[in-house]
Amino acid sequence: MAARRRLILEAIRARLWEIRTVNGFATDAGETVFLGETPELGPDDPEQAIAIVVDDELPAHQGENVFSVMPVVVAALAKADLDEPWLAVEAVLGDIKRAIELEDRTLGGLVRLRFERGATRTMKREPGSVTVGVAIEYRAPILEKWGSP
């Protein structure tokens, strides 16, 4: 069986893949979802995209069961040379919230307690970077038996 962390990432990615204008969203950013990295959008990439990156897990309790919180950062990305790149980023951010923040806050029973939203941060743009973005953190509380991820 796949580890819970992997299943959580797959569930988040599946929700983000739904972001398409044909599904009622404002953008088609779900067509390009990167997992594990936040890339620069190059000339062959779409104008908008999404990146999922796992931050450092925060252990809260350890014993027979291990309780921790897995922060998952979801970034809304847009090419910096668009007419209004920040409005494009904000449209993707709104779509991310709509896609992830569904009534089922357990991600189909994968998350202990409930999936929560953390901070939203503007991504710092390095000199020469061609991508702008904003990242929103989600927190997935996980309960695992010792040695059984």
Read off the DSSP letter of residue 146. Answer: T
| pLDDT of the residue at 71 | 95
| pLDDT of the residue at 24 | 97
| pLDDT of the residue at 129 | 87
Alpha-carbon gap, residue 75 to 94, rounded angstroms? 11
Question: Which CATH number is 33's domain given?
Answer: 3.30.2000.10
Cβ(40)–Cβ(130) under 8 Å? yes
Residue that is written with structure tokens 């779509």 in the block: 95
Residue that is written with structure tokens 């969203």 in the block: 25
Alpha-carbon gap, residue 2 to 17, rounded angstroms? 21
| pLDDT of the residue at 2 | 65
| pLDDT of the residue at 148 | 75
Q: Taking the model in full, what pTM does it have? A: 0.91
Containing domain of residue 41, as a range? 4-145
| pLDDT of the residue at 80 | 93
pLDDT digits (tens, 9 = 90+) for 129-140: 899 999 999 999
Alpha-carbon gap, residue 97 to 110, rounded angstroms? 19
- pLDDT-flagged residues of the chain (< 50): none
| pLDDT of the residue at 85 | 93
| pLDDT of the residue at 98 | 98
Domain count, the chain: 1
| pLDDT of the residue at 12 | 96
pLDDT digits (tens, 9 = 90+) for 76-89: 999 999 999 999 99
Identity at 78, one-letter amino acid code: A
Rg of the Cα atoms in the chain: 16
Alpha-carbon gap, residue 12 to 86, rounded angstroms? 24
CA angle 7, 9, 11 (to 5 degrees): 70
Alpha-carbon gap, residue 77 to 61, rounded angstroms? 35
| pLDDT of the residue at 1 | 54
User: Quick one: how far is CA 63 from the chain centroid?
Assistant: 30
